[in-house]
């Protein structure tokens, strides 16, 4: 009986250049989809005119289209074992950056979408495993494109939303005045002769739609053949077209408002008109691509001859296996994203929540400690609570909680003034909250302090509370153990503590962990 080894079996399976390239790209897309799946899952599927940062869903979805368009490049699946080492090193850098940022930033990791900001490293490791360093160079544009799946880089632009709305209000006012319509303009408010008013708000001209337009047209421009200057012009023309159509929309609605008043039909149309114009602009630009000297015709030479060359699949298996392994590990690392605490990305000045309502939520959250909660009072640093029987000082087994409100998001900070730090470490919980703990000296006391921050939504306003749990260091404390941390969180915590110089064990106040773990996204 004749036996055939696995190596001989795969050596007998051969495919041409085009088939091998298609297989390699399919592996890249599947592996990247696995690694990015939970990040996509927690992203709003719609572009909201109330939140310009929601444009990122376009980048996340178009990243896979961009990779398909990368098939135009001359890609070959790598058979060089050194490329596997390079891929492993890039993924190691991804894991290190992921661990340090996720533990260090606490809930801000998801708020600022650092998970998506690290997409280029993840994709680069997968591409290198399959197509090698040469493939990494040839697919550099799709890889760099994925960095915009996080709104972080465009925050300075998106933050101009209010100013952009003012500019459009002046454009509409100028157009109405040129048509002889006597309206009065004051900021975003336009007042008609009938004394009724409308506002050209940021939702009418959200910069998020313009960012989405750029991110949609960029991969399309890459697919077309033509000079780079023509590609840039094509993308710029799409922005201008969307701007012109949006101004015309606002002008027409304003004229209807002046002469007839705004009926329910006009109001309903206004709600979805922005998205309608976005899709219309895309269709128009695709139809006009030829006018910009762009085409889909093949201009490269020598591919037909290369397509006749056959190669063995067996030589590709190590790279394919590593790419799929990277995607699987990235998927496991991201499993807890779906129930991580986060706050909406505030691009304008965050509103101050009513403190009375806010502290009622803080008071309720402290009940998760399982002990009686007593409001002691307030000082310049914040509001003080005590867990357990109230005492006049820290001589017994009490834990004091100092809660202070911040109008800007932060991962947590030590509020009090202490002399020195004796021990310090951090622990990441399953819900994405990082509890940091320290043993500190203050005056004649040695204190155990655990601290973190939580976001709160109060009456539609976003506020952030810094929690600081304080107890005497020699107070008998229960052993927290693994607590509410899973295997991934414990691993990332260990990496963070090693690189941040964290040391010390069992210094966390377990009541702090109980309260932090009770927060849900």
The tens digit of pLDDT for each residue in 36-78 reads 999 999 999 988 777 888 899 999 999 999 999 999 999 988 8
Identify the CA nearest to 293 among candidates 334, 232, 338.
Answer: 232
Report how far residue 426's alpha carbon sits from residue 180's, in angstroms, rounded to the nearest whole number. Answer: 66
Tell me the residue length of the chain.
521
Identify the CA nearest to 515 among candidates 421, 412, 422, 441.
Answer: 412
- 């709600």: which residue's tokens? 271
Query: Would you state the pLDDT for residue 325?
Result: 97
DSSP class of residue 478 equals: -
Report how far residue 180's alpha carbon sits from residue 425's, in angstroms, rounded to the nearest whole number. Answer: 69
Q: What is the pLDDT of residues 91-116, one digit of tens each?
A: 999 999 999 999 999 999 999 999 99
Per the CB < 8 A criterion, the answer to whether 77 and 319 are in contact is: yes
Identify the CA nearest to 129 among candidates 181, 77, 172, 170.
Answer: 77
Q: What is the pLDDT of residues 361-413, one digit of tens each?
A: 888 899 888 888 888 888 777 888 888 765 555 445 678 899 988 878 888 88
Per the CB < 8 A criterion, the answer to whether 294 and 230 are in contact is: yes
Largest CA distance in the chain: 98
Q: What is the pLDDT of residues 317-348, one digit of tens each?
A: 889 999 999 999 999 999 999 989 988 876 54
Of residues 55 and 350, more confidence is placed in 55
Per the CB < 8 A criterion, the answer to whether 130 and 77 are in contact is: yes
Strands 420-428 vs 434-442: parallel, antiparallel or unpaired: antiparallel
Angle ∠(152,136,117) on CA atoms, nearest 5: 15
- Give CA separation, 467 vs 74, 263, 410, in Å: 55, 49, 11
- 């590990």: which residue's tokens? 329
Report how far residue 37's alpha carbon sits from residue 244's, in angstroms, rounded to the nearest whole number. Answer: 36
Measured N-to-C along each axis, helices 207-223 and 228-260 cross at an angle, to the nearest 10 degrees, of: 150
Of residues 25 and 478, more confidence is placed in 25
Of residues 258 and 94, more confidence is placed in 94
Report how far residue 373's alpha carbon sits from residue 276's, in angstroms, rounded to the nearest whole number. Answer: 53
Report how far residue 263's alpha carbon sits from residue 129's, in angstroms, rounded to the nearest whole number. Answer: 59
Q: What percent of the chain has pLDDT over 70?
A: 79
Per the CB < 8 A criterion, the answer to whether 55 and 214 are in contact is: no
Q: What is the mean pLDDT of the chain?
A: 82
Query: Would you state the pLDDT for residue 12?
Result: 47
Q: Could you tell me where the beta strands, DSSP code E, fall in 331-433?
A: 373-379, 382-387, 399-406, 420-428
Query: Would you state the pLDDT for residue 280?
Result: 86
Instruction: Using the predicted structure, report yes or no on whether residue 131 has a pLDDT greater than 80.
Output: yes
What residues have CB less than 8 Å from 238, skipping those under 6 apart? 213, 214, 217, 281, 282, 285
pTM listed for this prediction: 0.86
Query: Would you state the pLDDT for residue 119?
Result: 98
Report how far residue 185's alpha carbon sits from residue 200's, in angstroms, rounded to the nearest whole number. Answer: 10
Q: Is 468 helix (H, G, I), strand (E, B) or coil?
A: strand
Q: Could you tell me where the beta strands, DSSP code E, fall in 50-153?
A: none
Report how far residue 193's alpha carbon sits from residue 259's, in angstroms, rounded to the nearest whole number. Answer: 10
Per the CB < 8 A criterion, the answer to whether 519 and 368 are in contact is: no
Q: What is the DSSP string of 458-494?
A: ETTEEEEEEEEEEEETTS-----TTTT--HHHHHHHH
Return the bridge partners of 404, or none.
466
């Amino acid at each position: 009986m004749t036996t055939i080894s696995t190596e001989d079996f795969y050596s007998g399976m051969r495919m041409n250049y085009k088939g091998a390239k298609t297989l390699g790209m399919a592996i890249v897309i599947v592996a990247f989809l696995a690694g990015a799946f939970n990040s996509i899952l927690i992203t709003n599927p719609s572009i909201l005119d109330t939140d310009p940062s929601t444009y990122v869903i376009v980048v996340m979805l178009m990243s896979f289209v961009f990779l398909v368009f990368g098939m135009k490049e001359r890609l070959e699946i790598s058979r060089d074992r050194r490329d596997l080492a390079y891929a492993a090193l890039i993924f190691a850098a991804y894991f290190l950056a992921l661990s340090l940022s996720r533990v260090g930033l606490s809930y801000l990791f998801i708020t600022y979408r650092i998970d998506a900001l690290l997409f280029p490293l993840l994709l680069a490791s997968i591409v290198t495993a399959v197509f090698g360093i040469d493939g990494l160079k040839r697919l550099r544009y799709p890889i760099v494109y994925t960095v915009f799946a996080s709104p972080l880089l465009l925050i300075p632009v998106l933050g101009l939303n209010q100013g952009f709305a003012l500019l459009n209000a002046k454009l509409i006012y100028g157009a109405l005045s040129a048509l002889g319509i006597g309206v009065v303009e004051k900021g975003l408010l336009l007042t008609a002769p009938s004394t009724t008013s409308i506002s050209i708000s940021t939702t009418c001209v959200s910069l998020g739609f313009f960012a989405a337009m750029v991110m949609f047209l960029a991969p399309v421009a890459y697919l077309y053949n033509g000079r780079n200057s023509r590609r840039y012009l094509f993308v710029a023309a799409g922005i201008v077209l969307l701007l012109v159509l949006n101004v015309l929309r606002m002008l027409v609605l304003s004229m209807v408002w002046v002469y007839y008043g705004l009926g329910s039909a006009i109001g309903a149309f206004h709600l979805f008109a922005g998205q309608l114009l976005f899709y219309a602009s895309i269709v128009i630009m695709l139809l006009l691509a030829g006018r910009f000297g762009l085409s889909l015709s093949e201009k490269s030479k020598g591919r037909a001859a290369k397509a006749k060359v056959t190669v063995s699949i067996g030589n590709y298996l190590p790279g394919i296996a590593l790419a799929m392994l990277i995607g699987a590990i990235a998927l496991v690392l991201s499993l807890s994203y779906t129930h991580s605490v986060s706050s909406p990305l505030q691009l304008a000045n965050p509103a101050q929540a009513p403190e009375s309502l806010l502290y009622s939520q803080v008071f309720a959250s402290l009940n998760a400690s399982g002990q009686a909660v007593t409001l002691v009072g307030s000082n310049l640093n914040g509001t003080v609570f005590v867990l357990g029987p109230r005492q006049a000082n820290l001589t017994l087994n009490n834990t004091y909680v100092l809660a202070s409100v911040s109008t800007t998001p932060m991962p947590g900070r030590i509020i009090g003034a202490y002399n020195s730090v004796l021990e310090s470490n951090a622990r990441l919980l399953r819900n994405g909250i990082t509890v940091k703990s320290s043993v500190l000296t203050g005056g004649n006391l040695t204190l155990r302090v655990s601290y973190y921050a939580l976001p709160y939504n109060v009456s539609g306003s976003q506020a952030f509370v810094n929690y600081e749990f304080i107890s005497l260091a020699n107070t008998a404390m229960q052993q927290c153990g693994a607590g509410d941390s899973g295997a991934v969180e414990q691993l990332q915590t260990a990496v963070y503590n090693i690189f941040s110089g964290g040391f010390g064990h069992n210094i966390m106040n377990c009541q702090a962990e109980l309260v932090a773990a009770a927060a849900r996204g």
